[in-house]
Structure 1
């Protein structure tokens, strides 16, 4: 039974999510920050960053590559080597010591990869050989995209297995569960979309073919670690990374019809104000629903609160505000406004600046550190 918190804000109510009891309904959304080393290994700086934010009801980590072909950025963390597992264990231990809970988001770049961002220099892969046209971020600056190679059926099967292997590695690394990133232009989304999936085999064509890969991934991950430890993120109609979905409704209805019986921990849905996919997901999904409305407009304390207060979602994921506010929940409880991001140029760089130097509203109290000088 989910019980009310002493505070009137519904985001501060507790919530039962699978085997976890969340102390509040705020989820720290996954955000790319690129602080791992060039082998995709998290270090102490990442442990500090996540531990600072451990008062969230649930943290969903930044996107983590399940294998080498899934790597989008060179300093993006992975979960396919023993060293990466050990690095993530430092992070999860720090989060748990601070009283938090954390899921690993498994994110495969698909066609958005680039040889300069892969440790093996390999060509990106995708459902079809359809390249992006917008520049790709590398450590040497923006570069032209590279056309992906269409995946063979065997490679698709190997990728499904890689997701399951990364999920098992996540549990060895101390994560409480995993989230499959099926949104925002990443590989599962590429199979779902019209312009990136031109296949005519069992993984393309009509609705049943388009949903096959994300369904197989979800089933494999749920089988590997238990469905109650698995979340799925989707963003129907999202045009990020030049995605085109002319009529997403029947595709996502079929996707949810097939994964609903698995008993996943939650469905994580992102939308912008121009779309009403959360309302449709609420009608189709019987389990826990995590809502995010910050796809194109930054989430505010007011919009996050309304999402849960109006029953449109059970939990709300907060992204960009968590960059400048390690204590998003504490500020809600104290009715203190969220701080604004100070320096956006430091989102994707190395080092502590713009990463672990934002204080809580009480300065240096608790897990938080004072700004660097």
Structure 2
């Protein structure tokens, strides 16, 4: 932590080889513009427009055909996708920002109609998530029963994550963030109501944490620990993730292991955690046990972000939805300019409307 001088949102950060022009992070947000799962010129424009943030974390991007659960989300497992991400990285770097790709395997939160032929909806166990999902071909459809992952599936998926990280570096992206939050595959292994395995990947918290830690370790080995972050959302029930006894201990264990691995950052979605005394204590414990960068996210205003940085609670603050409708969001909060409201109907559509057509403040 850099607390010798007062840290604020517009302080540069030069720790751990990560040179950022400010402490503002654009949080990962699904935007569904990758037609055919390939990053395109429209996406390059979108991210470049928002490159006044110090760090951009991309939308969830699948390391595998099996992880492409939603309509029009990008992948990073084939050459065409890597070339698409090269264009995005170049556009962001020209504006002086850094960009990490978020690797998101959707696991059981998927529908076959959104996925390429030959792919499978897989999860730790054959437990169906409640809810429906949009498909371009058939509209809203119920989530299917996933196939339980075999030992071979687990080994292959770990390899796919590591290769995706290598692909990210090849594309010129500055690093990767693992999506261990919001009920997707990594978090599915952590939750005992979703992971009912009886092998070394299920049961006690050490076993349930094993898959996450093996993925993190494989990626750190593949591209270097200084290019690896992970996003967590303790106490969040999104995507049918029930509460369970031992949430605190599970995440405490994970963070201590991340500290041993020496990864660059932990990114905590703290909206749900801060509703509970135990959750607030967990965020403090993460700060105590993890000595590298801590990113906090969850409904921050500029004023609240400044307080979190000044107090040392966080090193960076991630903002999500304000970036959708305010491509110049950092300048707006710096100069106390009004924020434009987003058009929610176009969050996940396929074209530039509600994506790259929001104006900069004049």
TM-score normalized with structure 2 length = 0.94
Displacement of 1:332 after TM fit? 2.2
User: Pick from 115, 122, 125: which aligns with 1:128?
Assistant: 125
SS in 2 for 1:85: helix
Instruction: Report whether the alignment pairs 1:12 with 2:17.
Output: no
SS in 2 for 1:196: coil
Displacement of 1:37 after TM fit? 1.3
Counterpart position of 2:95: 98
Counterpart position of 2:339: 338
Cα distance in 2 between the residues matched to 1:221 and 1:45? 29
In 2, are the aligned partners of 1:180 and 1:231 still within 8 Å (CA)? Answer: yes
Cα distance in 1 between the residues matched to 2:291 and 2:243? 25
Cα distance in 1 between the residues matched to 2:195 and 2:128? 11
Cα distance in 2 between the residues matched to 1:162 and 1:347? 29
Displacement of 1:2 after TM fit? 5.1
Cα distance in 2 between the residues matched to 1:82 and 1:268? 29
The 5 Å alignment of 1:15-26 reads 15-26=13-24
The 5 Å alignment of 1:143-162 reads 143-162=141-160
Counterpart position of 1:198: 196
Cα distance in 2 between the residues matched to 1:11 and 1:300? 11
Assess, with a 3 A threshold, how the Cα gap between structure 1 residues 332 and 4 changes in structure 2: closer, same or farther.
farther
Cα distance in 1 between the residues matched to 2:256 and 2:179? 18
Displacement of 1:311 after TM fit? 2.1
Unmatched 5+ residue regions in structure 1?
A: 363-373
Cα distance in 2 between the residues matched to 1:22 and 1:108? 28
In 2, are the aligned partners of 1:3 and 1:13 still within 8 Å (CA)? Answer: no
In 2, are the aligned partners of 1:2 and 1:14 still within 8 Å (CA)? Answer: no
Measured against aligned partners, the alpha-carbon deviations of 1:81-119 in whole angstroms (never above 9, x if no partner) come to 100000111111111111111000000000111111111
User: Pick from 89, 92, 100: which aligns with 2:86?
Assistant: 89
User: Pick from 27, 44, 48: which aligns with 2:45?
Assistant: 48
Counterpart position of 1:264: 263
Cα distance in 2 between the residues matched to 1:3 and 1:312? 11
Counterpart position of 1:325: 326
Measured against aligned partners, the alpha-carbon deviations of 1:176-233 in whole angstroms (never above 9, x if no partner) come to 0000111110111000012110011000000110000000000000000000000011
Counterpart position of 1:223: 221
Cα distance in 2 between the residues matched to 1:259 and 1:64? 22
The 5 Å alignment of 1:188-337 reads 188-246=186-244, 247-272=246-271, 273-274=274-275, 275-276=279-280, 277-294=282-299, 299-337=300-338
Question: RMSD value over aligned CA atoms?
Answer: 1.7
Unmatched 5+ residue regions in structure 2?
A: none
Displacement of 1:258 after TM fit? 1.7
Assess, with a 3 A threshold, how the Cα gap between structure 1 residues 264 and 191 changes in structure 2: closer, same or farther.
same
Displacement of 1:302 after TM fit? 2.8
Displacement of 1:20 after TM fit? 1.8
Assess, with a 3 A threshold, how the Cα gap between structure 1 residues 360 and 4 changes in structure 2: closer, same or farther.
farther
Counterpart position of 1:74: 71
Counterpart position of 1:369: none
TM-score normalized with structure 1 length = 0.91
Displacement of 1:256 after TM fit? 1.5
